[in-house]
Amino acid sequence: MPTREVPVLPADCFNGLTICRHGPMLYNRNDQYVGASLRKYGEFSPGESQVFRAFIQPGAVVVEVGANIGAHTVELSRLVVPGGAVFAFEPQRVVFQTLCANVALNGCANVYAFQAAVGATAGEIRVPFLPPNMPNNFGGLSLHEGGSRGEPVPMRTLDSLGLKACRFLKLDCEGMEVEALRGGADMIRTLRPTMYVENDRKDRSAELIGLLLSWQYRLYWHLPPLFSPQNFNEDAENIFENIVSFNMLCVPAEQNITVRGLQPVETPA
């Protein structure tokens, strides 16, 4: 099945443009996961979209930490229309530029995009520069260990947003989920959003689960495969084999929502 590539960019440009399920998307041709999936399948990790559609309604305020190039941001923007808003954070400069391009291409005026990391305290962090013209997993860059090398980028907290409402919080910040949550403790305690949190770092998993359980959330594993046979481009070749995303759906305990089909996370172990 051919891709829906739009041949308007120079052949030697690291960016490509393709038509995807939720609209046109600019992507990095050298990105081994998000970019490769958008080009070949016209979507990325579509199993996550099922969760978004189940818990996000028109008018909702959504916060997305680790928006990457907007593969999910554009869909989130559509889901909250009319009256809703999406606050999207991405710390990598070139990746953030692509995020803004995709927001603009799709007319997502309800998206507020920030080139910033999200952590436990406000300040500054160094973000390593990954050359965009070389193959890489650009969405897998971890800032957890910090360091003195890289480009200076603001570090913000979720509490600093001063939101009056937040229906849904999506965290995909490569090992910094605990820090991002601690910096949003007041917001989460007050607004009680449903959360969708990546948990694929074994050395940090127990701490992350323990924190969320202590805040009276019910947690469920959600492990969507990167490949879907029902992808937008109807491409049957699976280039990702058995790779899945390790995420947790986190529901405030007081809402008494029944989640079927997902395995509960009962203890940090």
CA distance 88 to 73: 7
Alpha-carbon distance of 124 to 49, in angstroms, equals: 32
Question: Tens digit of pLDDT for each residue in 218-235?
Answer: 999 999 999 999 999 999
Burial grade of 239 (CB within 10 A; 0-12, 13-18, 19 or more) = middle
The residue that leads in pLDDT, 205 or 140, is: 205
> What whole-number distance in Å separates Cα of residue 41 and Cα of residue 229?
9
The domain defined by 45-265 folds into: Rossmann fold (3.40.50)
Q: Is the pLDDT of residue 30 over 90?
A: yes
Bridge partners (DSSP) listed for residue 65: 89, 171
Take residue 17 and report the two structure tokens written for it: 């443009």
How far is residue 122's CA from residue 154's CA, in Å, rounded to a whole number? 8
- The yes-or-no verdict on residue 6 having pLDDT over 90 is no
What confidence score (pLDDT) does residue 143 get? Answer: 83
Contact partners, residue 268, CB within 8 Å, separation at least 6 = 205, 206, 207, 209, 210, 213
Cα separation, 111 vs 85, whole angstroms: 6
Residue of 3 and 207 predicted with greater confidence: 207
Q: Which residues contact 47 (CB under 8 A, 6 or more apart)?
A: 222, 224, 225, 228, 245
Q: pLDDT tens digits for 139-194?
A: 888 887 666 789 999 999 999 999 999 999 999 998 899 999 999 999 999 999 99
- Which residues fall within 8 angstroms of residue 53, CB to CB, at 6 or more apart? 79
- In DSSP terms, 17 is beta-bridged to 26
Q: For residues 88 and 86, give the distance between their C-alpha atoms in angstroms, rounded to a whole number.
A: 6
85 strand-pairing partners: 61
Please state the domain extents for the chain: 45-265
Cα–Cα distance measured from residue 44 to residue 188, given in angstroms and rounded to the nearest whole number:
28
The residue type found at 149 is R
What per-residue confidence (pLDDT) applies to 235?
Answer: 97
